[in-house]
Amino acid sequence: MDTAEGVADPRGAGVRRRRGGRVPTASMADVARLAGVSSQTVSRVSNGYAGVTEETRQQVLAAMKELGYRPNSAARALKRGEFRTIGVITFSLATTGNVRTLEAIATSAAGEGYAVTLLPVAVPTQDEVRGAFSRLEELAVDAVIVIMEVHLLDAATLTLPPHVQVVVVDSDAGDHYTVVDTDQAGGTRAAVRHLLDLGHRTVWHLGGPEDSFAAQRRTDAWRRTLAEAGRTVPPLVRGDWSARSGYLAGLELAAREECTAVFAANDQMALGLMRALHEHGRRVPEDVSVIGFDDIPEAGSFLPPLTTVHQDFAEVGRLCVEAVLRKMRQDGPERGTTLVPTRLVTRASTAPPPR
Amino acid sequence: MDTAEGVADPRGAGVRRRRGGRVPTASMADVARLAGVSSQTVSRVSNGYAGVTEETRQQVLAAMKELGYRPNSAARALKRGEFRTIGVITFSLATTGNVRTLEAIATSAAGEGYAVTLLPVAVPTQDEVRGAFSRLEELAVDAVIVIMEVHLLDAATLTLPPHVQVVVVDSDAGDHYTVVDTDQAGGTRAAVRHLLDLGHRTVWHLGGPEDSFAAQRRTDAWRRTLAEAGRTVPPLVRGDWSARSGYLAGLELAAREECTAVFAANDQMALGLMRALHEHGRRVPEDVSVIGFDDIPEAGSFLPPLTTVHQDFAEVGRLCVEAVLRKMRQDGPERGTTLVPTRLVTRASTAPPPR
DNA sequence: CCACGGCATGTTTGCGTAAACATCGCGCAG
DNA sequence: CTGCGCGATGTTTACGCAAACATGCCGTGG
């Protein structure tokens, strides 16, 4: 029982195959002919318009079914001038945050009747991004969301082609574009204050890579919070988000007796950090408190379970879609940044400092 | 300097705006007019055809640039009969495997000049899948890849509409569809044998959820491998892929003195399992060996670093794209399963059993 | 009894592109 | 000097759909 066979070809003996031997699909005209109506009536049925007799409607539906008719989205898009598709540019799906955000975007978009087209950019240079944009423009896309967690390598700010509705996640381009982001500063402040409130004299920081906006903000907020509290700011240690880099950085920190509390810029690095501390006989949380950022699903199963800052990725995704659709419909050059609040999740990895 | 002006507008003084105040975009005709050539010549330049004088070409390019011309993908798709887009149906982006596969698909597809449209399906009932398919068909998509890690809830096998080129990841529908999958059995065998070779009398198994194909295969292969080696098959313990479920299952296993080796169906569950063992004073690997599956990036940073079965998701994604494009182009109803080999990564969580 | 309104349906047209076919002009062979 | 061939460019047309407009039919009120 294969796909196309046995259907009386109303166009006569024409085989009607495109290059490559594609299976021909039924058009509205085919359906119209079979149902004995005009193609416009088929269109009306297809789009659920009123003003079609129930009897006619049934005939058309029957014909559609018989021919396996599917509206041709290219033609429809051409006529309507929109694709109901949102493009998403992302530099990597390796980080939890990006993936969760993407998933939320896809779900929200689906709820609005939009699909999501993915466009991965290998290297985040401005040229690459621009290239991605031209590809997207030639693609079937009405608007674009850029999930950007890394600085553009060759330019301080993001410059993009006009005529495209853009919403950016996790950037500092709020004065040029619409930006939706987690409240990095608020989350960081909560984390650092939590440790200070437990009695630690200061808080060390295992920061993310230099080229990441999110990392930069967390580091800035860490410094600011300590400064506001009048504490000394220990030297910054950097990782690259990976657990491995957290481990390496942890080797350094484990050697420092005076380090009793560490704020890691994400949970993976916190994981590696804790391993290094463990290997060097420094217990968590008795000797050293560790706090993370993100609240990945596994964080509660680390050894010990990790206190961390929970990010609401679903909300970020939802807001992105909302913002981009709003921009699309109103064509308003709306700018500014929307912040999504975080929540501190207290688990076993933080405790008062040793006496 | 707007796009359509000074042009004899057959519809009268129409401003040529679509509903919603969309910015009108330049068409080939606009470019042609400005460049003083025919639209066909613009088309030729746009598609890089030979047979256009360099001089003409430059004029056209200049005109394109001035008008900010972008080919209209809807029209192009309508004419060409293809979108150069692959749809991906996925039930969840929560698991590492799905995400990594998706990323690889997107990258491979981009390499072939194809984009990827994402279609998340909330609940994996057959109706939902079929619904996703109809949406996809109405969408701008030439072929579909289904990343399916969960059984359909209301049917044993996957039934899908005709006329669509489909490749399925991680399924048992190889006799009906083209399937690409990790060699679950091979990986499992390697894991179990590794533990047996270390001297363990048998291997316990922390399986994945019942409704997952992958989990089922790993469980089957575990049983088979033990049987082949003439070992007793301990009772199966199940989790749901999450670290938390691994922890809960671990509480059970930790109580069993005779359990010296556990094969967890994924790394997250292994993580939770190790936490439970730790809490009950059973050391890994001295008292109990633990092996995982997937080799997530963090696996090397667990306490202790996890021995696990490495999956080559990139290869899976690549093969999917390759297969689906091949099917598309040849229209061959090619079936069967392609297996991607795994690799055992030995780290610190496995050792000979205690004497 | 006819006109008019309203509803179901049909016809025309154009969206932007590119294949197929038509034309034009130039250079070179005869 | 003429004609032929070929390369460069123009013209026509169709892709499938749906808005805009046209038609035809019915019933009702004057």
pLDDT tens profile A32-60: 999 999 999 999 998 888 788 999 899 99
- Residue bearing tokens 């963090």: B298
The answer to whether residue B320 is domain-embedded is yes
The mean predicted confidence, pLDDT, of chain A is: 84
More confident residue, B79 or B164: B79
**Residue A127 in this model has a pLDDT that exceeds 90:** no
Most confident of A167-171, B81-85, B285-289: B285-289
Partners of A205 in the β-ladder? A263
- Statement: the CB of A338 is under 7 Å from strand D: no
Strands A143-147 and A166-169: parallel
Strand-pairing partners, residue A206, are A237, A264
Rounded to whole angstroms, the distance from the CA of residue B57 to the C1' of nucleotide D8 is 12
The pair phi, psi for residue A345, each rounded to 5°, is -110, 115
Same domain? For A123 and A199 the reply is no
Counted domains in chain A: 3
Query: Does any strand D atom come closer than 7 Å to the Cβ of A92?
Result: no
**Is position A4 within any domain?**
no
d(CA B35, CA B44): 13
Whether residue A80 is predicted with pLDDT greater than 60 in this model: the reply is: yes
Whether the beta carbon of B12 falls within 7 A of nucleic chain D: the reply is: no
Residue closest to A2 by CA, chosen among B219, B164, B223 = B164
C-alpha A265/C-alpha A71 separation (Å) is 49
Does residue A341 sit within a domain?
A: no
Quote the CA–CA distance of B329 and A19 in Å, as a whole number: 9
Identify the band that residue B203 occupies on the pLDDT scale cut at 50, 70 and 90: very high
H/E element holding B305?
none
Whether residues B146 and B253 fall in one domain = no
Answer whether B225's CB lies under 8 Å from B188's CB.
Answer: yes
Residue scoring higher pLDDT (B129 or A299): A299
Do residues B201 and B230 lie in contact, with contact meaning Cβ atoms separated by under 8 Å?
no
Q: Same structural domain for residues B225 and B249?
A: yes
Determine if strand D comes within 7 Å of the CB of B79: yes
Q: Which residues of A touch B303 (CB under 8 A)?
A: 274-275, 278, 303
Of the candidates A314, A97, A136, the residue with the CA atom closest to the CA atom of residue B120 = A314
The more confidently predicted of residues B102 and B5 is B102
Residues A209 and A279 in one domain: yes
DSSP B330: H
pLDDT score of B229 more than 50: yes
Based on the fold, state whether residues B62 and B124 are members of the same structural domain.
Answer: no
Position B102 pLDDT exceeds 60: yes
- Work out the average pLDDT over B281-300: 96
Instruction: Please report, in angstroms and rounded to a whole number, the separation of the first and last CA atoms in chain B.
Output: 86
- Across the interface, whether the CB atoms of A75 and B78 are under 8 A apart is answered yes
Which residues from the 12-41 window of protein chain A have CB within 7 angstroms of nucleic acid chain C?
36-41
Give the CATH number of the domain where residue B114 resides: 3.40.50.2300
Q: What is the CATH number of the domain that holds A44?
A: 1.10.260.40
> Torsion-angle region of residue B51: left (phi > 0), alpha (psi -120 to 50) or beta?
left
Q: What is the DSSP letter of B300?
A: G
Q: What is the pLDDT of residues B319-347, one digit of tens each?
A: 999 988 888 876 566 677 899 999 999 99
Q: Which of B28, B43, B71 is the last residue of a domain?
A: B71
Q: At what angle do helices B39-46 and B54-67 cross, to 10 degrees?
A: 90
Q: Which residues contact B272 (CB under 8 A, 6 or more apart)?
A: A298, A301, B239, B242, B243, B244, B245, B246, B247, B248, B249, B250
Task: Find tokens 């495997």 and name the residue.
Answer: B97
Q: Contact A79/A291 with Cβ under 8 angstroms? A: no
Measured CA to CA, the distance from residue A51 to residue B254 in angstroms comes to: 70
pLDDT at B1: 35
In the prediction, which pLDDT does B136 show? 64
pLDDT reading at A105 higher than 80: yes
Specify if A101 maps to a domain: yes
| Mean pLDDT taken over chain B | 84
| For residue B68, pLDDT beyond 50 | yes
Whether residues A169 and A118 fall in one domain: yes
Q: According to the model, what pLDDT value does residue B126 have? A: 65
The pLDDT confidence band at residue B217, using thresholds 50, 70 and 90, is very high
Backbone region of residue B76 per phi and psi (left: phi > 0; alpha: psi in -120 to 50; beta: other values): alpha
pLDDT of residue B327: 83
What DSSP letter does each residue of A202-268 carry, written as one string?
--EEEE--TT-HHHHHHHHHHHHHHHHTT---PPPEE--SSHHHHHHHHHHHHT-TT--EEEESSHH
B110: confidence class by pLDDT, cuts 50, 70, 90: confident
- The CA-based angle B260-B182-B239, given to 5 degrees, is 45
Per-residue pLDDT, A215: 93
| Strand-pair category, B115-120 with A115-120 | antiparallel
The encoded tokens of residue A280 equal 């060097």
B355 touches strand C (CB under 7 A): no
> Looking at the C1' of nucleotide C14, which residue has the nearest alpha carbon?
A79
What residues are paired with B182 via a beta bridge? B340
Q: What average pLDDT does the segment B187-216 reach?
A: 95
pLDDT greater at residue A18 or residue A298:
A298
B168 touches chain A (CB under 8 A): no
Residue pLDDT, tens place only, B20-52: 334 567 889 999 999 999 999 999 998 888 788
Q: Is B122 on the interface with A (CB under 8 A)?
A: yes
* B106 phi/psi in degrees, rounded to 5: -60, -40
Nearest to A11 by CA among A2, A22, A24, A20: A24
Mark whether B193 and B294 lie in a shared domain.
yes
CA nearest B293: which of B163, B188, B169, B204? B188
CA distance A338 to A169: 10
- Higher pLDDT: A166 or A289? It is A289
Question: In which residue are the tokens 């590809």 written?
Answer: A135
pLDDT of the residue at B221: 98
Q: Is residue B282 domain-shared with residue B323, that is, in the same domain? A: no
**Could you check: is the Cβ of residue B40 within 7 Å of any atom of nucleic acid strand C?**
yes
Q: DSSP letter for A163, please.
A: S
The pLDDT-based confidence of B349 (bands split at 50, 70, 90) is very high
How many Å does it take to go from CA B16 to C1' C3?
39
User: Is residue A286 located within the same domain as residue A298?
Assistant: yes
Percent of chain A, pLDDT > 90? Answer: 50
Q: Residues A77, A82, A86, A89: is their CA dihedral positive or negative?
A: positive
Torsion sign across C-alpha atoms B233, B234, B238, B243: negative
pLDDT of residue B174: 60
pLDDT band, residue B207 (cuts 50/70/90)? very high
Is B149 a member of any domain? yes
Residue A196, token pair as written in the block: 């200070």
Q: Which range (A58-62, A70-74, A344-348) has the least confidence? A: A70-74
Task: For residue A32, give its domain range.
Answer: 19-71
- CA torsion through residues A247, A250, A255, A260, sign: negative
Measured between alpha carbons, how far is residue A35 from residues A47, A48, B162 in Å?
Answer: 17, 17, 22
Q: Is residue B204 part of a domain?
A: yes
Tokens 């094969």, located at residue: B263
pLDDT at A171: 67
Best residue in B72, B118, B248, B277 to probe A by mutation, most A CBs within 10 Å?
B118
Question: What band does A10 get if pLDDT is binned at 50, 70 and 90?
Answer: very low
More reliable by pLDDT, B307 or B214: B307
Positions in chain D where some atom is under 7 Å from a protein CB: 7-12, 14-20
Asked which of A4-18, A138-152, A232-246 is least confident by mean pLDDT, the reply is A4-18
Give per-residue burial for B299-329: e unless 16+ CB within 10 Å, then b. bbbbbbbbbbbbbbbbbbbbbbbebbbebbe
Put simply, whether A77 touches B (Cβ < 8 Å) is yes
**Mean pLDDT lowest for which of A15-19, B215-219, B261-265?**
A15-19
State the pLDDT at residue B69.
87
Judgement on whether residues A198 and A169 belong to the same structural domain of the protein = no
pLDDT tens, residue by residue, B156-200 = 455 555 556 677 776 666 667 788 989 999 999 999 999 999 999
Type of residue found at B48: G
Does the residue A207 lie in any domain? yes
Distance, CA of B353 to C1' of D3, in Å: 96
User: Which is more confident, B56 or A132?
Assistant: B56
pLDDT band at B82 (very low <50, low <70, confident <90, very high): confident
A96 lies in the same domain as A173: yes
Mark whether B160 and B239 lie in a shared domain: no
**Other Cβ atoms within 10 Å of A43 Cβ, number:** 17
Q: Quick check: B7 pLDDT over 50?
A: no
Residue A344 lies in a domain: no
Answer whether residue A6 shows pLDDT above 50.
no
Mean pLDDT on A174-199: 91
